[in-house]
Each structure stands twice: as structure tokens, then as C-alpha cells.
Structure 1
Amino acid sequence: MSTFKDENPITYRIEKMRTNWVENVTDDTQLVRWIVQKDEVRMVKAFALLESSEHGQIPDLFINFDLPFSTEQEYGLDLLNNWLGIWNDENARAEVADANVLPDWDDTPFQDAPVKKSEETFLDAMSSFAESIDPKQKLVLNVMPSDFMGEPGFVDWVLKCLEIMPENIRFMIFDLDEIPLFHKIPMHFRVSSLMANLNMSEATKEIVQQGDANDPSVGVNLCLLNIAEATNDKNEDDIHKWGKEGVEIAEKTGLKSIVATIYLAYGSAFFQLKKMKEAIRLFKSAEEQALEGAVEEDVAIPAVMLQVYNFQAAAYLYRKKYEEARECFMKSAEESLRQKNTAMYLESQRQASIMSEKLYDTKAAYDLTEEAYEKYKTHDKLQLKFTSMLLICNRLYDYAYDEKNKPLIDEIDEFATDIWGEHWKDASQKEMYQSILTTE
């Protein structure tokens, strides 16, 4: 007999999160901190969305914000303006007018707010809104910036808010277990830290197993999951077994992108086990399939192609084959440019430059760095903030300094200061961005 868990793997995990909340979040909690694995982030966001809907079961009222983080000074104003835009949206009001749930809230005092102390204005506005619903109403502000990748300014902004948090407001955030940012919050703040423990890989397997056994896509997904399990167990025989079976099933779909994906996962398993010769052999098979798929205009090929190039580059780098690694990074940069993937282009170009340095090809190293900088220096600065452009600026600045190129030194300094602030050259900031790029 199947259990509720078997039939509803996602619902089961939502219920686990609700139980966790009810058992651990107290009335005076200011910050609810979900400690999650990377593959659990989407479930935490889904939980917040569900609780903010008519299907929510926790008494608190949830409001979700996913605005990109700007700066510690401006983020409160960004959130406030976003909320006022929602509140004054006639279409949004029309959706709930019949339900008679709109409170009589006056947003006039919060219009045209200044940047100064904007976090305080934002919290006052949300507290006022909660009181207009019910004097006892608790509001959960789910603050999860869409592009948040470890910006320390966001942590400082949250701590500043906790110092002045109204009693009817609490924040909800997530913190990655492998690189926690909110684990050293001062003791005087009232924090409830919840371990998600959702085991999403098992949830995925449960969902896949519920599919049609005769459907090739189900077989492919099961093989991918079994390859992952065999990798965790360091069982090379099982990796080969499920890899070969996956390729056979994938070929029946007639889609080169799926065959390439299997080869990619198959090779990645040996990459994780540091069996680089076998990994490179399989990555080359993945590349062959991807190139054939590109000719056939398989729409899923571009995403696969980038992974193929980057995995090959990493494998060659591990074996200290810098020429081959550089070639793969340059292919990745070219493909990223074609796909308009700014972050991937900049990082691939940066890595190709590093490989050139290892090959004592100083001119190529400089040219690759300069090309990346020149190509994107007029790009949207908020988008550049969380890319490797900071590291590219550091590298190009050093080149310019060695060559006593003062105009270029001044240009880079002005450009970088505008994005990352006057301390952009600090080692701690450089290390932070290198950490981000390593863990993403």
C-alpha cells in the first residue's frame, strides 16, 4: 500500500516545513532562518508562495519580495516602492475586491520617501499595513533577493533592520548550509533557525518513479538519479552500468541534447571521483552529440554546450593541461557571448586569461582580460555587480599599474568604485567574489 508521502512527495515536504515552523517559531521571533542545501532553495520559496496564498495555513500573513539587492542604503527604498506599486495596482486590487479582504490602509505618509533611513520607513509602512488588518496580525516578510549570491551588504542590511524591527514584523530568509552568512547573528536578536532537511534528491526520485515506465524520459531521469547515487557510493561499476543504460534509452528519444546530457552526467561522475581520463573521454562524447544536435537545431543544445565546455576545461585544468583548458574556456566564452550569458562569458574569459598566464603567454592573458572589460564596461552595472567583473578589474588594474598606464588606472578605479564602492581593491572583497564563483 502506498503512503501519503509516496503519493505526494512535494506536499509531504511542505507539511514538514509547516510543522517545523509551528514547533520552533515563537511569538517574539524576529528572523526565521531556513538552513538549506542548494537544491532546497526552490522548495523554501514555494513554501513562502503557498503560505502567502489562500492555501496558507500558518496564522502569520506572508508577503514575498524577490527584488535584486542594490545597496545597503537603497534596498529599503526599493522594497518600499515595490510594495507601494503592488498596493496601488488596480489590476491586483480587482482580483481581490470581491473577497472583501483589502484593509483600509493609508499609504500617503510613505509616498516619496527619501533614501536616508529607508529601511526604517519600509518597516514602518509594513507594520502600519499589518495593524490596518488586525492589531494582533504578524507579518512575515520573505526577503530573498532574486540574484543574491553572498553580498555582505545584504547581511548588514538585515542586521540593521533587526535593530529596529517592529513587534508585528518578522523576516524570513534562507541560508546555505555549506556557506552560511547568518550564523553569527548577535545573541540579542531573536532568531529561529530551522533545518529544512527536505532530501530533494529523494523527492525527485519519488516523482520520477510515479511516471510512465514506458516513457523514455522517465527511464533517462531514473538513470541520472542512479548515476548520482552510484557516484555518492563511489561505485564505478554502477556508474558505468547506469551511464550506458542511460545512453541507450536517450538514443531512443532521437534528441541529441538528451544523449549529450547523459554523457555529461556520466562524465561528471568520474570527474567527482577525480578519474579525469575517463571523464574527458565521456565529455568529448557529450560534445560530439551536442555539436550534432546544434546542426539539427535541437533547442536544448545551447545550455548543454556550455556545461560540456566548462566541465572539459575543469578536467584539463586538473591534469595541468593548460593549453587544452584554455581552448575549452575560450569556446565557453564564445558560446556564452552567442547566448548573451554575461556572467558565464566574463568568467570563461577570465579563466582563459589565467590559463594563458600559466602558459607564460602574457600578451594573450592581457588581451583576453582587456577584451572582457571593454566589451562589458558599458553594461548594466547592477547586473555586473555579481559577476567576475570585479576580479577582471583587479587583474586589469594590476596590468595597467605595471605598465604605468595612468589613464587606464583612473578609468578602472572610477568604474569599479561606482559598482563596488571605494574599497573594491580590498583583498577580503576579492576573496568573497572568488568564493561566490567557486560555489555557484
Structure 2
Amino acid sequence: MSAGEWAIRAEGVSKKFGLTLRQSMKYGMRDVGRKLFGRSSTTDVLREGEFWAVNDVGFELHRGEALGIMGVNGCGKTTLLRILNGVYAPDKGCIEVKGRVGALIAAGAGFAPMLTGRENVYVNGTLLGLSTKEIDGLMDEIVAFSELGEFIDLPVKNYSSGMFVRLGFAIAALSRPDVLLMDEVLAVGDLNFQKKCFDHVLQLKRQGSAIILVSHSPGAIWSVCDRGLFMDRGRVLVDGPVEDAIRAYDDQNSRNANTSSAQFDKAVEAHGEATGDSQASEYGHTRGGTGDVVCTAIHLTRPSSDEVDNEFDFRESIEIAADLEVKEMQENLLLRFTIDAVHYRFIATLDSYEQGLSLPEVLPGRYRLKVRVDAPNFRPGAYVVNIGITRKAVGVHLFYWFGATRFVVKHPKDLFLYADNNAVMHLDSTFTLIPTPAKTASTLEGGL
């Protein structure tokens, strides 16, 4: 194949599975029986208890290109890779692959546990289409790359997961495949081995191999791949620049983080106690207090609209609206919101006293509290809003509510903020790289 020629074509590829093993076996036996008697099967439509793991996926990948596939767990990434590798046959659509395919989909997959590493090299090399002479010529290089040394003659059943990955990658990559398929197995290796693997992948790419990389690491996808696919529930939602796929993946993760956090808090509330490292672990409940003041509802809007939302653009202003019920007259009331990030507690505080709102006396009644936050510099991600109400001279909460509401800050289109998922603030700055003159010999001597 010449450079630029397509290596993989996928058109309308779909694959379905049964929700239970019993359903899968029942439908599988029925389909096999129909084929034996020359009758058509119904593999191209969903039956009761089935779902599409991959649904109408299509793309074309050329030689010398790398495609990154991202998506949350269960979106269909690995199933698609197994279809491309011929492990699964698609129920709909077609796949065309040109040339030799090397696949690293699961650590240890395809290894015979009772055979040694060396013997497995010959078995897997033969499956890749290599002759015994070609495998002999590659053996020393495979052993050196995998860094297994004398362990190459140890039965692989005694290998660690890292050793599996080392040998599997060495076989798949050093066989010089026309197409290399990689799942998230490189994360098992140590940092030095990961670097060596990625250097070799980039070398294969320069030599004309087509690469498909499935990973949850934005850095790995961005550094290796030219294009990106973002999948959700079996479908491709983004097919384009790598940055767009990573943005969509991170935003989906943020939504899922808020959903799972909210479900956990509901479970805590239902059981009346907190477990683990929940936001309510200090108090034992998600909300409580003396009850003299109660927040009955809280939601987020944009300052320009009263429409409730929980997704905001990067640097977009946010308004918090809270409905309060004051049961008895309160003196020196203090209203405070704290904001948590996914990995950190109390990254920001909004305090009525600090912001200049003096409340020396608040009469009984119902109130709407509004707090406007202009252009916050939160990095893209998931955030939680908590509320606490107290009085200046009283050291107990009149009311508290952990996880009162949640919001997501989406990725901007003009910035690629991928470097550190643990960071929560974006600081605008100016970078300047200034070359400095090298010190001459006379300068060095004069400084002695």
C-alpha cells in the first residue's frame, strides 16, 4: 500500500448483544439453526432483551494516520476494536481492512498460559502471518524491547500484567503491521516503557502504518492521533479534530460525575447516614441544622435569563437562586455558599458578609436570595454547590445542605485545556521564552 491509501473502511457497522447470557445463547442457537436450514436470520434488528453495543459506525482511515477513539466505559470502544480485528462479526454494515493487522486489545489476550513467552511469540507471530524465518529474525528484537530477559522462557501463566503488556506490545508492534489496534493496555506499563511504546508507535506511523488508539488519556490521544472519534452508547457523536473529541469526552465525564454524585447523596439521605468520603461525612446527613431558617429550593440560571440550567460555557456568568423560609426573626444572618470540584472540597466561597451584604435583622417570611458570579475562571469540569446559613454570634448552623445543586463548565472552543484534570482554576497568563547568550570561556574564567 502506498502512503495516503486507505487502510480501513467501516460503513454502517453495528453489533448487538443480549442483556443476559441466557438470552444471548437462545438467540445465538436460533440464528445458527436458521442458517443451517438456509433461512435468513434476524441479526440486523433488535429483539427483546438486546441492545446495540455499536450502532451505525462509519469512518475511513488512511496509511500514516492515527485515529483516537474516546468514550466513557460501556460506550462501545472495545467492541468496535474487536470487530475491526475480526473477533466479532458485525450484525450490520461492513469492514474492509488492507494488510497485516497487529492488535493489542487486552493484556494477555491470545497467549497460551502453559507455553513460554518465546513459544507464544511463535504462535502469535504465525497468527499475524509471519513465517518461522521472519519470527526468528525478530526474536532478539522482541525480547530486547519487552525487557523480559531470561523470563522469556518462563510460562506466561506466571507473568504479571505488566509483563503481559510488554510481550504483547512487542509482538504486535515489532511485526511491522500495516494496521495497529491498541486498547487501554499501555496504562499498565511503567513510565519508561510507556514512553518507549509511544515512540515506537509514532515511528510506525511515520513509516506508513495506520494506528487506532483507544484510551481514556487525553494526553495520549492528543500526542499520537490526527483525528478523534467520541462514542456514546454505541454511536459516534464526534468525528473530527482530536481536540473536539477530547472536549466531548471530558464534558461527558463531568456530566456523569455530577449524576453519580447526586445519586450517592440521595442514597445517603434515604439511609440517614453517610459512608466513605461523601460531602456529608462530617455531619452524617446531606442537610440539616436547627431549622430556624430553611432553604426549600436552589437552582442555577444565567443572569440574562430565569431559565434553570446546569451546564455553562467557560467563563460564562452564573447566578445562584435560593428560596429561603425564615421561621423566626434572625439577627446578623450570614449566608454562605461553598463550591466543590470533583477532587477537592471548598475550592471557592461566596459569603454574604464578605461581599458587603449586612443583615442585622431579617423578619419571618419567605425570601428569594440571588447571587451573581461574573465570569468565573473555573476550568472545564464538574462542580457542586453547598449552602450554609448561620448567625454571627451563634456557632451552629441554622441550615446546611451539601450537594444542593451541581453544574458543569464546558470546554471552550478557542482553548484546549487538557493538561491537568485535577486543576480547578484557569489563570490567564503570558508566556515568554527568551534565549540567553552562552557564557564564553573568558567570562567563565573571569568569574572564578
Larger CA Rg, structure 1 vs 2:
2
Specify the TM-score bucket, using the shorter chain as the normaliser. 0.3 to 0.5
Output the TM-score relative to the length of structure 1: 0.33
Between Structure 1 and Structure 2, which shows a larger proportion of helix residues? 1
